[in-house]
A and B are shown apart, each in its own frame.
Chain A
């Protein structure tokens, strides 16, 4: 009964009051009771327990997957430890890859490949009874699988030593702030923090709290407001014309960016409040100097994962531009598939890859030829943003035909559209644009002064208080939440 009540109260998302209470309790217990010298294991046990409660609130059955995945990689780690050569370690890496990617394939990709195979067979007239597993996709499986895989891969490459503390390792894999949607941490960065007790750092905790509030503001006030329009547009693609297509073209990329970077900010903020540093996941990606620059700024931890563990090994096999292009396309095929087991994600990934292979060199030449000139930077940013924003139509559409229909809307002409047509008010529309301009202004400021957050946090206390107060009041009074509004899940929860 107690456990049932506990779980009931913990069905939580980051943008919920329940999570706020949960974090407060974890924070208090963590710092007041468990953060003592020699209490590392107790602290880790506590973090593991609360992380499992956090995840189990969604569906406790899938805790077994995380536990199994963690156990296999911990065991593989112990086996690899002490083995001198890569060839000795290789069989154990294969075990880890087979188990982790096998789970991912079974839960996420099996039906997709089966459907595709059956569709293909049907083309040749072999149409029989359709088979499907119809398994539920466990939340965050792509994230924690990659995180735990990075441990085995780093051990294989000899980049780190295996841990002998199972509790620390399990807590590292399941650490609740980043369990469901990243950032995807490397064991060699985060695991050491689970192996020691850190002192309470008021400055870090304050900056963590501020980052968390900023993330909440981005999610509830900015991203979810844009979502109201985006959801309406994508729900009725036949009603979209050139006018509304343009709105979707602008709104969805910003919604996605604000939503996902909000999640990352909250995750990083919450972890920082508990004394764990997580890796930055976004760095003003909406102002990229080319496609490569975009991927250096967007979902940084995933891009780096693919760069280090997929692109680099393939690229190493052969030299030459042609092979480089193939490597890029393989990586982006995998990136598309990582996001979702549907063909529209594959198309999105391939479009991104093609942009990088064919357009990036042209933009690069332009940047070199007119180095430092403002107008060139502007042109490059505009071209990149336009291409990336268009590619995201594939990303957001539920299927390929919807995406094609939406692209076709450009030829429908400029209709007279009002937010009322989508059941929304002019006030909401104005607010959406105001939020968008605010986001642009903040990102430009951060581009010009990347150290602004640090300077702000160590600067005038009154300013910090005032801005924190404004953020919270903004969330309460301008947030897109309420009984009559569908609470928007974080978009990346589905991956």
Chain B
């Protein structure tokens, strides 16, 4: 009698647990909106991966700017600070494009651009005694292409990505604060109509990372995907 009761109790408990787990699983299932968002995100990633050339992916969740090629991470750069802004007139931000994360920004041109130095050798005749030639030790990339403190990538559609270098103590996070020169420079830019981009994404990177990024970016046709 007692054994029957115990088994009945165990059965009831088991049923309860099963029902509970089914309910929990249902509750944890993503909604149609979540799935639609995930679909849109994956579609954008796939679109970027299918096109030729390296592209940038900015992931706000992981504070990283990733150089990618065909959906493969080539290089991750830590973003020390990032903000988004629009030019202001009389303390009011002008209206710009809002869909920062819903598209691939294309045709970005780098300012100032890196101009590749090419040495041209013209072979006119055979030099019978080439031993007299001096060995030329070319400069390192850092010497040949010193990177600017800040650079911009202007994309089609009105987005400007401003990359600023942070030269602080190693391991210390950058500060979002502008220096006085930065404050004046920003105001000077936005004072003139047409000079400022309608939407600005400002990234603060470690100085070494920023310099290497500037050198390795394709000078025309940069693509950027901001992950939602």
The yes or no verdict on A and B being binding partners is no
- Hey, which bits of chain B sit against chain A, CB under 8 A? none
